[in-house]
Amino acid sequence: MGVKGGSSYYIARKVCPQIITTPANFVRYFEISKQFVKICRLYSPYLEVFSIDELFLDITSTQKLFGGTTSLIRRLKDHIRKQMGNIITVSVGVSHNKMLAKMASGLEKPNGVTYITKDNVDSVFAKSSLTDVCGIGFRIEKRLHMLGVKNLLDLRTIPFKALEAEFGPHEATFLHNVAFARDDAEVVSFGNRIETKSVGRNYCLPKNETNKRVILQTIFELLEEVSIKLRKLHKKSRSIGVYLHGDMSYGGHKTMDFYVDSGKDMFDVLKQSGLLRCVGNAQYIRQISVWAGYLKDNDALTLSLFDQAGKKEDLQLALDHINETFGDHTIRNGFLLYSDKLTTVPNGFLADRLNRIELAKLY
C-alpha cells in the first residue's frame, strides 16, 4: 500500500487514511528482548546486542559443541520457538564478518537462514540492493547511482579518490570496504562494564506550550526522573543542565561544588542559577531536555556529618520504594499537583543506561 517500515504516522495516514494504530509498549518490548538475549547467550558468550530484535553471536569457539553451525542454528531456532512461541521467528545470517552477517540476516525473511562465504559473496552482491548493507541508506544510494553504481559489485569499479571527493574520507573508507566485503570489527560483548558519564531525559510537549507553570512543572518532573536514575545507579551529580526549544533555543548548565541526587535539589540549582528565567521570556516551548553530569559513585563521596542529611536520604529511598511498588508518580512533590503524569520510556532502544545495565546482567 506504500506504507514502509519506519514511515512517520503523518506519512502513513496520508497513504492509508484507514490505517489502524496501536500504542507502543516499550516495557513489553524490553522484556521480549531480554528473553531473546538470555536464550542466545546459551550458545555463545560472545554476544553483542545490535538493536531491539538483532544481535551478533560469535560462534567460532562454540559451534563444534552443538554439532556444527547448521546444527547450532537449528537448535537455537527450536529453543526460541519452544520458549517464546511460534509468533517469534528468527532470521539468521552467517558469515565471516559482522557486515556480511548483518546483510545476510535480512535476505531471507522471515525465519530464513542465509550464508555468505568468500566463495559466494560476489554472486550475492550481484543480486543485492545497495541498501541491503547496513549503513547505506536511500540518500547514499541516490548519490551512488549518480556515480553509476547500481549494485555492490559496481562499487568496486569506483576509485577511492572519487568516493572521497563525493562523500569525504570516513564514508569513502566505509564504502570501499563494503565493496570488497571487508569488515574487521569484532563482536563486542554487551556484558563489558558500562561507564555512565551522564544521565538525561528528553521530552517533546504535545503542543507549543505557553503556560509557564506547565513548562516549569515538566522540567521539575523530568529532573525527578533523572534523579531516580541516579539513585538506581548509586551516583550523584554536581553539574545540572537544561535545554529548551520553542520560538527560540535556550539552555545552559550549572556546575556546583557539591553533589545532588534529588529532583527538587536539581530544580533549585537551575532556578537559583537563573537558567530558568528564559521560561518567562519564551513565547512558547515545545521540547525540553535535562541532564546531570560530573557523576560520582555514592561510595566515593564524603559522608555528611549531619544526621539531617541521612534522614533526608532515608526518606527519599522510602518514597522510591513506594513508587516502584505501586507505580511511577504514586507520591509526587506538591509542585506537581494536578500536572500531567509523564510516561517514563527510553528515548530509544537501550538509550537508557539502566536498561543497558539490566541487560548486561544477563551475560
Give me the CATH topology for the region 92-190. DNA polymerase; domain 1 (1.10.150)
Question: Is the distance from CB of 248 to CB of 254 less than 8 angstroms?
Answer: no
Q: What single DSSP character describes residue 71? A: H
Can you tell me the distance from the alpha carbon of 190 to that of 18, in angstroms, rounded to the nearest whole number? 41
With bands split at pLDDT 50, 70 and 90, how would you rate the model's confidence at 344?
Answer: low
Please, where in the chain does CATH 3.30.1490.100 lie?
199-360
Report the pLDDT value the prediction gives residue 352, as an integer from 0 to 100. Answer: 59
Burial class (CB in 10 A: 0-12, 13-18, 19+), 62: middle
CATH class of 199-360: alpha beta
Q: Does domain 1-90 bear CATH number 3.30.70?
A: yes
Name the least confident of 241-245, 250-254, 304-308. 304-308
Please, where in the chain does CATH 3.30.70 lie?
1-90
- Three-state secondary-structure class, residue 296: strand
Report the pLDDT value the prediction gives residue 27, as an integer from 0 to 100. Answer: 77
Strands of 249-260's sheet in order across: 199-209, 285-297, 235-246, 249-260
pTM of the model: 0.65
pLDDT tens, residue by residue, 155-209: 999 999 999 999 999 999 999 999 999 999 999 876 555 578 889 998 989 899 9
